Every structure is written in structure tokens, then in C-alpha cells.
Amino acid sequence: MTATVTTPPQRTPAQRLLRLARRNKLSTVGLILFGLIALAAIAAPLLSSHDPLAQNILHRLEDRSADYLLGTDVYGRDTWARILFGLRVSLLIGLISTALAMIIGSALGILAGYRGGWVDSLIMRIMDMLLAFPTLITGLFIVAVLGANFWNIVLAITVTILPKFARVARAPTIALKEREFVEAARALGYSDVRIMAVHIAPNVLGEVIVLASLWAAYAIRIEAYLSFIGLGIAPPTPTLGTMIREGFEHILDSPFVSIYPGFAVLLVVLSLNLIGDGLRDAIDPKLRD
Amino acid sequence: MKFLNATALSVLLATSALTTDLHAQELTMAVSAQSAGQLDPHVSTRTEDKIVFGMVFNGLVRFAPGSMSGEDIEPDLAESWETSEDGLVWTFHLRQGVQFHGGYGEMTAADVVYSLTRAADPDRSGVSSDYTQFASVEALDDYTVQITLAEGIPSLLGVVANYHGGNIVSARAAEEMGENFHTNPIGTGPFAFDELAEGQFVRLVANPDYFRGAPEIDSITIRYISSASARDLAFQTGELDMIAGTREDRWVTNMTETGEAVVDVFEPGELRTLHINAAMPPFDDIRVRQAVAHAVNREELVAFMGASVARANEAPVPDGYLGHNADVTFLAYDPERARELLAEAGYPDGITVPVAITERASLFAPMQVLQAQLAAAGINVELEVMEHSAWHAAIRDDVSSMVLYGAARFPVADTYLTQFYHSDSIVNTPTAVTNFSHCDVADDQIVQARSEADMDMQMALWADAQQAIVDEVCSIPLFELLQVFARSPDVDLGYELEGSLSLGPVITEQSTLAD
């Protein structure tokens, strides 16, 4: 710790984040890893010659070979192709639900913090209610009642992690609304909506994004959990969780059928966590050099 | 009292050399289910409950242990019986001195009358359709029961055997306990119900007063473990003496190769049939149903399940049932023709249909194979995966356009044809059983065959009915899946296991467990 204080150059929050993230080697690794995974998912049809849904019963549960890079599953489907296409679904579910939770959750949090009073109480008590359930239970409940399909799973995960965003967005808002620039904006006669969206939201963004990168990993894991216990997307659509579940029945004699998609989940979650850790270090003033 | 017994036992153990004789023989097995259904033989038809019924209850007659052939029916609670010329009046003479479990007294004609009446009552029984021809069941005296039929049925002995409705329950216990009877069943069998831990296990204990003699094995714990790999592991570590197997070639081979297991593959073959709901468009058009039939590849399905445990079947009635039509003419695998038929029916781009399916692997896995086969012919199946009992309820609500169903019934063509293809059995009607396809083309043959006295004529009618059902494509019979269990070589069943209507190796008073 040096005692010298330098005036940091003016940067947009996004630039600041990127710069700080770059300083952290591990999160760079995470970023590259995640980029590669996302690319692989996008380019899935190019990276695999097999149809992820095509069954080949005579070649079921085969180990790695030149033709089947990661072997085949119980229906003789190519595991490599299924992981690539499964990544698409799993990533989409994870990212969409995190994005939704981030947007809605922060909006609610800012609103609660800015307005205070009964609005605050109402929103935050609802969030507390949602938080009172263990995370997986809320998701389970929603999927079990509404049925398992893409959007219901997105909804389940969104609702599960939404309160965390509301909380994180609310606290700084309460501090920010007393600041001069907000008072200035109010004095200029700007509407509350404009103040919240233009003046407060950007200042909350940093923390929310850190949270999002960490919860995105969690969202992908929830998808895998739900699929694993049979509440995932209906077959034959591959998702990483469904693949682990299907392979699990044969874990004793053909463990690779579960292990490969399990490893894919591991990589995705690891990369997102590395990114998130890096971002948090970058943003947290206590850890800043 | 328990303490005293334990003390006495330990003293004996310490002082005597007869340790092997005194060692409690506790057998633990696991079946594939999440929990027991309802342990009332007249109510539950779930696979995992049948093996319990097989050990706790008796019928008037029984299939000899290890057999499910009508020729092997032998006296059970009835010592002898006679029948009138026209086959409508049956008189059974009961064994005397048979005691119910739990001090519920001697089994008499009143219990038999109560049980059969209960089994025939649609409000109290899930198998009442087997007893629609019962005009009366009367007790002539304490040990004589007379059954009068309104019309002849293919096998009266079959419906009074130790299979579902034929199981005799204690009238007093059933009345006293009412709803609770299914968590505390009282019968006369070699093993008595002891304890039920919901979602975990049911424990049976030896009935020392069993009329064929006290069982060698002291207690049986049946655990509910739905995960196949969890069962396999527990079996391999010696925690379980017997497990329901996975009905696949590779499982049978792997388990046999360990050298520490005896694998039993036995009858009945449960026929897996794809019922097509003709009341639900687009399947109201026979051409679409024919397209489905042409799209199905039985050979691949059998290869998927494994040749040692599965065999193809094209007739609506399973192989080995009296009346099975082995020469039925059917639509062969021909995906090209399937596409043509769809185009003719006005679906050149194929169809998409929602199908409800259980999460249980024995149906879920072949359904996914079917899904891929049908997709290749332009029939896209959207699966709605459900918990097993929710699925059972859903398909009986007539909500699924196709129903993949597996079942073993009493091995006479009539039961299968009546329950699955007679118009009275159509789901979501007051008389519903399991006619998922809304099939009604074979009613006449089914009814006529039921009371036809001439055997050849009866067989011809049954063959006719099956051909009519196949021609109408009410359903597509696919393959039969045999029963697979593994047991430790220490378990000696005491009989040759060729078939079991209890769908499992029933432990009898003669079964033993080596130390």
C-alpha cells in the first residue's frame, strides 16, 4: 500500500472493468476459456460430423474412437456432438435467465432503494420471501408446477436468483440518491425514471455485473441439477444435465457417458467463476491496489 | 419381551454349537420403484407390489411356484373343487385350520366370499373388470364356497388364483382397518406384513403357522431403490441378496461374468405396445396410423433392449398366452411407405404430436428409440416426461395421442383383449380400463370368445380379433420384455423359476439363505 494518491484518468465504467480484468491473469484465462466454449457452441454444426439426435443402436455405449470422438451414449448418439449442441441449450438457458434476473432484479432493487417507504418494504419483503426458500426448491417448484420446457426453466432460474440482484442494487441506490449529482438532477426537474435509469443505474452496474458473472455459473448448474433429476428439457434435445442423467444409469460399466458432459459443465462453471472473481477483485475498492 | 428373547438367544448362542440353526435368516432385496404403492392386492396393480402380494397372500388355487402356466394350477386355500356341467357353478372346499396373520383368526368361507365380492366391486377394487361375470359368491358352510357365473369365462381358476383379485384377505381386518388396510395387509401367506417405511422399504416376517410349514427364512426386507446403478452397487457390496435387474443384454452379461450372482431371466414377457389414440387428430385417419406402423423398426428395438431379454411380437396378445395369434399379418418396417401414407393423408411435411411418457427407464428408453424411428419417417414426437404415477393418471385421462404401455396379465387372450381393445374399456369412460386407442373393432369376437365352449372356435375368434385390431392399427405391438432378477448364489429359491405372475422371484416357505 502506498500513501500516494493519484487521480485516475476518466474512463467509462465498462472500460474500467475491462482494464482491471486484464490485470488479473486468472480471469483472463477464464475469459479466453469461456470465449472458446461459447465459440464451440455457436459453431457446433461445423465441429461435428454427427447429428446429435441420430441414434445408432448397434454402436451404443462405445468408447472413444476416430469416428466418435468422445464415444456414444446409450442410444448410440455421438457424445461429442451432443455436448456441443447441449452447450448451446445450457448456455442459452444460463445466460438468458441471468440476464433477465439481472435486469429485472436491479430494476426492482433500484426502485426500492430510490423510492423507499412502502414501495421498498413491499418489494424487499417479496424478495425476502423468495430468499427464504433454499435456492433449488423455488426452481423445482416452478418447473414441477408449470412443466419442464425451455422458457419455464428460464423462468424458474430467473426467479431463483432475481432477489440477489435486487438486494445488491438496492443498497448503493440508497447511498447514491443522497448524492449531489442526483439532487442536482432532481433540481433540474428530471423525472424519477430518468434519474434511476440514467444517473443511478450506471453507478450500480459494476457490482451487478460481477454478481451476474458469478450467478451465470450458478444458473448453468441449476439447469444441470434440474435436468439431472428429470425436470429438464424434454428429450431428445441434449443439455449437459440431461446427458449426465442418461449416462448415470450406466455409470458402472460406461462411466464416460456421464463424465464428459460433466467435465463440460465443470469447464463452463470454472471459466465463469474465474471471470467473476477477477471482476470482483477489480471492482472491490478494498482489494484495489 | 424382545429383550428377553434376545437375551435367551444370546445365552443359547454362547452355550450351543448350533449357531447356524439359530442365526436369523434375513433376506434383503431391492425392486425398482420409489416407494410401495398400496399393499392391497385388490387395489394396486403396480409391478413392485405384486411380489409382496405373492408372499403375503394366498388364493383358492395357485400357480405352482416358478410357473405361470394354466396347467400348473394347484390347490392352495381350497383343497378340492368341482364344477357343474355347463361350467357356470363352481364349488370349492376349503382347507381347514388356516390362520390369518396377526391373530385375525381362522380363514373361513366368509373371508373368501368377502374377498371375492370386494375384488368384484369397482368402488373398492382396481381389478373388478375380471369379475363382471360373477353372479354370486356364497358360503354353503364354513368351509365350502360356491361361485355362480352369469356367463362362461375363459378361466375361472385364473381369477381365483393367487393373482390380484384372487388373493384372499381377512374380512375382519379389511373391515376394521378400512382405508388403512393397504398399509397393513393381513393374509395367510408364508410371510406376514411387519413394517412399511414409506419410500424406503417394506418388511415381512415369517409366518410360523403357515399351513405348508414354517418358512426357513425369518424375514424379508424389500427395499425401494429406483436407480439401477444404486441397486447394482448395493448388491455387489453384499448389502442386498437379490435385486431387480436391468433388462438389457449387457447388464445380464456383466452380472453373470462377476461370478457372484445368479441371473434369472423368466416369464412373463411384458408386451410393450404403442397404443395410438384414434380419437385424437391426426390419428383419426387410418393412413396416419398405418404410417406409424410402417415407421416402427422392431428389430432395432429388440437390439436396443438385448436379445437375451427381449423378443419381437406383432400380435396384440403376448406370446405364450392362450389364444396368442402367431400368424397375424402386419405392416412391415418401411419408412418410405410411411412418408407416402402421410402425404396421402394430407401431411406431406410430416406431423408433430405430443406424447406423455413416464420417467421410468423401462418405457422411457424404448420411447426415445421410437421417437428417433418415427422422426425418420416425418412423425415428430414431442415428449412430455412425467413422474410414473402422474403419467398413469394422465394416460387414463385420455390426454396423450400415443401411449407406450407395458403389461403382463393373466395369460389368457381374453384379459388382454378385453382390457386393451374392448370398447367398454376405453379410457375416460365409466367402465374404463386401459383401452387407450379407442379401439372398438373386435368387440363381437372378444365377447363371443369369452363364453365359447368349443376350444377351436374360441381360438379362431381370438385370432380374428387380433387380426382386426392389427388391420385397424389400434396399436402397434412391439416387443416383449422378460423379467430379470439377480440373486446371490446363497439364495436358493427352492423351486425352478420359469415364470412368475408376481413379476419377481417369490420367496416361499422352502426358500433358503446360506450363510
- Give the pLDDT confidence of B252-283 residue by residue, as tens digits: 988 998 888 999 999 888 899 999 999 998 99
The full set of domains in chain A, from first to last, is 22-40+77-287 (1.10.3720.10)
* Backbone angle region of B258, left / alpha / beta, with phi > 0 → left and psi within -120 to 50 → alpha: alpha
**Contact of B419 with B426, CB cutoff 8 Å:** no
| Backbone torsions φ then ψ of B92, nearest 5 degrees | -115, 135
CA distance A26 to B87: 86
Interface test with A, best of B258, B300, B357, B479 (most A CBs within 10 A): B300
**Strands B219-224 and B26-31, how do they pair?**
parallel
| Backbone torsions φ then ψ of B275, nearest 5 degrees | -85, 135
Of A108, A197, A122, the closest CA to residue A161 belongs to A108
Per-residue confidence at A11, pLDDT binned at 50, 70, 90?
low
Q: Please report the pLDDT score of residue A48 as a whole number.
A: 84
User: What residues does B196 pair with on adjacent strands?
Assistant: B202
Q: In A, what residues contact B, Cβ < 8 A? A: 53-55, 57-58, 60-61, 74-75, 147-148, 230, 234-236, 248-253
CA distance A277 to A214: 8
Q: Please report the pLDDT score of residue A71 as a whole number.
A: 87
- HSE-CB for B377 with a 13 A CA cutoff: 27
- Range with the lowest mean pLDDT among A218-227, B16-25, B235-244? B16-25
Q: Classify domain B26-222+488-513 by CATH architecture.
A: 3-Layer(aba) Sandwich (3.40)
CB-based contact (8 Å) between B303 and chain A?
A: yes
The 3-state secondary structure of B264-306 reads EEEEEEEEEEEEECCCCCCCCCHHHHHHHHHHCCHHHHHHHHC
Which residue from B minimizes the CA distance to A232? B385
Return the axis-axis angle of helices A79-115 and A256-283, rounded to nearest 10°: 30
Per-residue confidence at B1, pLDDT binned at 50, 70, 90?
very low
Of B107, B97, B92, B94, the closest CA to residue B172 belongs to B107
Judged by CB atoms closer than 8 Å, whether chains meet at B304 and A75 is answered as yes
**Contact of B190 with B207, CB cutoff 8 Å:** yes
Between CA B427 and CA B433, with CA B432 as vertex, the angle to 5 degrees is 90
| Chain A with chain B: Cβ pairs closer than 8 A | 48
- Range with the lowest mean pLDDT among A34-48, B9-23, B148-162, B494-508? B9-23
- Range with the lowest mean pLDDT among A138-147, A160-169, A263-272, B293-302? A138-147
**Strands B351-358 and B379-386, how do they pair?**
parallel
Which residue from B minimizes the CA distance to A55? B372
Between A134 and A14, the more confident residue is A134
- Contact list in A for residue B359 (CB cut-off 8 A) is 230
- Which residue spans of chain B are classified as CATH 3.10.105.10? 269-482
Single-letter code of the amino acid located at B55 = M
Q: B147-180: buried (b, 16+ CB within 10 Å) or exposed (e) per residue? A: bebeeebbbbbbbbbbbbbbbbbbbebbeebeee
Q: Please report the pLDDT score of residue B317 as a whole number.
A: 94
B194: Cβ contacts below 8 Å, ≥ 6 apart: B203, B204, B205, B219
Residue listed under C-alpha cell 404403442: B274
Q: Which of residues 215-254 of B touch A (CB under 8 A)?
A: 227-229, 232-233, 246, 250, 254
CA distance B222 to B231: 12
> Average pLDDT for residues B110-125, to the nearest whole number?
93
B53, containing H or E segment: helix B47-56
- Contact list in A for residue B304 (CB cut-off 8 A) is 57, 60, 75
> Average pLDDT for residues B438-464, to the nearest whole number?
90
Between CA A87 and CA A93, with CA A91 as vertex, the angle to 5 degrees is 120
Using CA atoms, how far residue B113 sits from B39, B77, B124, B138, in Å, is 20, 13, 15, 6
**Contact of B58 with B75, CB cutoff 8 Å:** no
Does residue B515 carry a pLDDT above 90?
no
Judged by CB atoms closer than 8 Å, whether chains meet at B385 and A61 is answered as no
CA distance B12 to B22: 9
Q: pLDDT > 70: what percent of chain B? A: 95
Residue listed under C-alpha cell 442410444: A75
Which residue from A minimizes the CA distance to B228? A249
Distance in Å, alpha carbon of A100 to nearest chain B alpha carbon: 26
Interface test with B, best of A149, A153, A249 (most B CBs within 10 A): A249
Q: Please report the pLDDT score of residue A10 as a whole number.
A: 64
CB-based contact (8 Å) between B368 and chain A?
A: yes
Task: Give start and end residues of each alpha helix (H) in chain A.
Answer: 13-23, 25-42, 44-47, 79-115, 117-132, 135-146, 150-176, 180-187, 192-194, 201-228, 240-248, 256-283
- HSE-CB for A5 with a 13 A CA cutoff: 0
- Range with the lowest mean pLDDT among A275-284, B333-342, B350-359? A275-284
pLDDT averaged over every residue in chain B? 89
Find the CB nearest A230 among B229, B371, B385: B385
Q: Please report the pLDDT score of residue A16 as a whole number.
A: 65
Does residue B17 carry a pLDDT above 60?
no
Q: Please report the pLDDT score of residue A3 as a whole number.
A: 52
Interface test with B, best of A252, A254, A258 (most B CBs within 10 A): A252
- Residue A15, judged by CB atoms within 10 A of its CB (0-12, 13-18, 19+), counts as exposed
CA distance B154 to B341: 39
Which residue from A minimizes the CA distance to B236? A252
Per-residue confidence at B15, pLDDT binned at 50, 70, 90?
very low
* CATH H superfamily, domain B269-482: Dipeptide-binding Protein; Domain 3 (3.10.105.10)
Distance in Å, alpha carbon of A235 to nearest chain B alpha carbon: 7
- Contact list in A for residue B233 (CB cut-off 8 A) is 252
Judged by CB atoms closer than 8 Å, whether chains meet at B229 and A230 is answered as no
- Give the pLDDT confidence of A180-201 residue by residue, as tens digits: 888 898 888 888 888 888 888 8
Q: B93-129: buried (b, 16+ CB within 10 Å) or exposed (e) per residue? A: bbbeebbbbbebeebbbebbbbbbbbbbeeeebbbbb
B42: Cβ contacts below 8 Å, ≥ 6 apart: B115, B118, B119, B124, B125, B126, B127, B164, B165, B167, B169
**Strands B242-244 and B26-31, how do they pair?**
parallel
Q: Please report the pLDDT score of residue A163 as a whole number.
A: 92
Single-letter code of the amino acid located at B432 = A
Per-residue confidence at B23, pLDDT binned at 50, 70, 90?
low
**Contact of A148 with B385, CB cutoff 8 Å:** yes
Give the Cβ contact number of residue B228 at 10 Å: 23
Q: Please report the pLDDT score of residue A284 as a whole number.
A: 65
> Average pLDDT for residues B315-334, to the nearest whole number?
91
- Give the pLDDT confidence of B54-74 residue by residue, as tens digits: 999 999 999 999 988 878 899
- Cell digits of residue B209: 403357522
Find the CB nearest A75 among B250, B359, B368: B368
- Cell digits of residue A234: 424434454
User: What residues does B312 pair with on adjacent strands?
Assistant: B479
Give the Cβ contact number of residue B19 at 10 Å: 11
DSSP per residue, A98-134:
HHHHHHHHHHHHHHHHHH-HHHHHHHHHHHHHHHHS-
Distance in Å, alpha carbon of A59 to nearest chain B alpha carbon: 10
Of B124, B127, B122, the closest CA to residue B161 belongs to B127
- Which residue spans of chain B are classified as CATH 3.40.190.10? 26-222+488-513
- Cell digits of residue A248: 448415470
Judged by CB atoms closer than 8 Å, whether chains meet at B385 and A234 is answered as yes
Give the Cβ contact number of residue A63 at 10 Å: 11
Distance in Å, alpha carbon of B229 to nearest chain A alpha carbon: 6
Find the CB nearest B369 among A75, A148, A253: A75
- Contact list in A for residue B228 (CB cut-off 8 A) is 249
- Cell digits of residue B460: 379362431
Does residue B500 carry a pLDDT above 70?
yes
Does residue B79 carry a pLDDT above 60?
yes
Does residue A18 carry a pLDDT above 70?
no
